[in-house]
Amino acid sequence: MQLLTKTLLKRFAEVGRQEDIIDPVVVAKFFNPTGAGTWYATEYDPESKMFFGFVSIFGDWNDEWGYFSLAELEGYRGRFGLGIERDLYFGEKRISEVAPHAKN
């Protein structure tokens, strides 16, 4: 499965930077199907191939806002050789709806 589609690239470009928005829109959600880890992407820079968003590994105090790369997501292999997946059924939501403990 492709993590980043042309449709998503277009949507990230439309949404643009959200650093001044208190409750930013999550454009894409990525997850580890065999373990911990969810990445809520609010921005994407096609030149650097870097996302910005909220990363939740265990749903605790270690969760944080930050940058993560497309290569990092694509290169990960967990149990049974499975990689990170994009939630195909995720519709755009505000971060407060999916990770209420995320404070921008």
CA 52 to CA 55: how far, in whole Å? Answer: 9
Asked if the model's pLDDT at residue 31 lies above 90, the reply is yes
**pLDDT tens digits, 33-71:** 998 999 999 999 999 999 999 999 887 778 999 999 999
Q: State the DSSP string of 6-47.
A: HHHHHHHHHH---TT-SSPEE-EEEE-TTSS-EEEEEEEETT
CA 76 to CA 11: how far, in whole Å? Answer: 25
CA 86 to CA 18: how far, in whole Å? Answer: 21
Q: Where are the domains of the chain?
A: 6-98
On average, the pLDDT of the chain sits at 93
Instruction: Using CB atoms within 10 Å of the CB of residue 89, give its burial: 0 to 12 exposed, 13 to 18 middle, 19+ buried.
Output: exposed
Kindly indicate the confidence band of residue 78, based on its pLDDT and cuts at 50, 70 and 90. Answer: confident
* The predicted structure's pLDDT at residue 101: 83
Amino acid code (one letter) for 88: L
Asked if the model's pLDDT at residue 1 lies above 80, the reply is no
Amino acid code (one letter) for 53: G
